[in-house]
Homo-oligomer: A and B are copies of this chain.
């Protein structure tokens, strides 16, 4: 990428991306002066204001927690030059899209990478290696801008999954937000001295994300309330059925269904896909690829290469 990229927000996610791209001298910005100092001390170029970072950038990547998003996107909208490509890295996509302002070309993004840690100190340039990175393709999305971003994302080793913000939010409610609710509930049900001393591997893994900062989990779930409500209701229904199956001593089908699904994840049986970037129906083809759980691995001028789960 010969373009100028500004990364706003240098926590775990933005900091990791800065560390990955920073060798090319791309500037960063963070609202926290200590974080700015830490990033400068680590050798990166850091602007002192949002406007300073955004003014020079062709591509602005917003990597702040959801509560900071409204204020920051308003600032970006004021400072951005017309046509500036703007993306974000937040875990919900519908609510972020509604906040975008100014003369920008916006593409919602979400790298499926992260840990329960946070902050620039935890940033890791390898965080996105092989990770799936959602780039939202809505009816109004500028396709050329989407392809530019997809080229950047695949160039750092991530896999670009094209989908809509609505489909994204429904899926992450199930695979990310619901696990946070389950982990917090499990931790509380086990709040007893003997249980806490006996707790080992299944408790450790089942509650890991309960270690996420509560304000982040809360903001994430609040931003995806409707989809999460559905996913939670399904989980409660499954658990209620499991209780009934336990009563009639017929729990094995419940565990077998989980076992079969977990044993075949992550999806390993995939087939290659090639798309023509000049196709008149490219938008539809990309969304169809994402709908099957497929992704792009390389985005060139001549062709788009990817893989999808074998049907």
The residues of A with any CB-CB pair to B shorter than 8 Å are: 112-115, 131-132, 134, 161, 163, 167-168, 170-172, 174-176, 178-203, 205-215, 217-218, 221-222, 225, 228-229, 231-236, 238-240, 242-243, 246-247, 249, 251-252, 254-259, 261-263, 265-267, 290-295, 309
Contact = CB atoms under 8 A, between A and B. Distances in A.
Given A207-B262, A209-B202, A209-B205, A239 B185 contact: yes
Contact of A246 (B113, B191, B221, B238): B221
Contact of A180 (B202, B210, B228, B231): B202
Contacts of A132: 197-198, 200
B171 A295 contact: no
Q: How many copies does the complex hold?
A: 2
10 contacts: A171-B195, A171-B198, A174-B190, A174-B195, A176-B202, A179-B205, A183-B262, A194-B290, A197-B295, A218-B252
Contact of A178 (B186, B211, B256): B186
A190 B214 contact: no
B182 A218 contact: no
Given A174-B195, A193-B292, A214-B252, 20 more contacts: A115-B201, A134-B198, A170-B195, A171-B198, A176-B198, A181-B239, A184-B257, A185-B239, A185-B258, A186-B235, A187-B265, A194-B293, A196-B267, A197-B309, A206-B208, A211-B262, A214-B258, A214-B259, A217-B255, A229-B247
Contacts of A199: 112, 175, 265-266
Contact of A262 (B187, B233, B235): B187
A293 B222 contact: no
A200 B129 CA distance: 12
A240 B192 CA distance: 21
Contacts of A251: 217-218, 221-222
Contact of A197 (B178, B194, B236, B267): B267
